[in-house]
Amino acid sequence: EVVLTQSPATLSLSPGERATLSCRASQSVDRYLAWYQQKPGQAPRLLIFDASNRATGIPARFSGSGFGTDFTLTISSLETEDSAVYYCQQRKIWPPITFGQGTRLEIK
Amino acid sequence: EVQLVESGGGLLHPGESLRLSCAASGFTFRTYGMNWVRQAPGKGLEWVAYIRPDETAVHYADSVNGRFTISRDNAKNSLYLQMNRLTVEDTAVYFCARGQTQTNNWFDPWGQGTQVIVSS
């Protein structure tokens, strides 16, 4: 099973700042990594797939990078609406499809 | 508009059974892989099961293998999850999620979820 480890667990930043979220895989997943955003009481939403491709309707301030075992989600200029929990997910080696434990992003 | 609507959640005792449903609309259901994903209270996301468009393959998480069965009715645009021998650890919100495209299985979109509570 591929274990995904996200860091930091919590991130507290101000509007307009840049957020950098990390996801590390226990073995290579090539580019088969996605990022999801989940706001309280809502279903998750796909942000980034195949490591660096934005899903339909996702603002350009969200970007993804990485390959193999180390991946990054960057939010270039934070808005208050970006407050959420962010999960990474891999589908290179499955079953099982696995998720990271999440990073909580707070906008001060 | 692509839409997924789950139903069937409830409050049960350990050992009981429950069947969840997911009604799909706004896309050609029979051509997409489908998944169930769950989220225990205050916890992260856990993939539960996957079914191919033509039902020729299904996959399960170890935690539910042998107790849960994923199925679909392409004529009714519906996905199901039969859950047997439920335990308190199965308490969660259960989401259905579509494969992003007909050739990949990123989860997009998701339904709003249905709550399952297992308690003695």
What confidence score (pLDDT) does residue B103 get?
Answer: 78
Ranking A57-61, B2-6, B97-101 by mean pLDDT, the lowest is: B97-101
CB distance B44–A44 less than 8 Å?
A: no
Query: What is the pLDDT of chain B when averaged over all its residues?
Result: 96
The closest alpha carbon to A87, from A51, A54, A53, A38, belongs to A38
CB distance B107–A36 less than 8 Å?
A: yes
Model confidence pLDDT, tens digit, residues B52-69: 999 999 999 999 999 999
Q: How many helices (H) and strands (E) does chain B have?
A: 0, 11
Q: Which helix (H) or strand (E) holds A99?
A: strand A98-99
**Among the partner residues A46, A87, A100, nearest to B106 by beta-carbon distance:** A46
Contacts of A31 in chain B (CB under 8 A): none
What confidence score (pLDDT) does residue B105 get?
Answer: 87
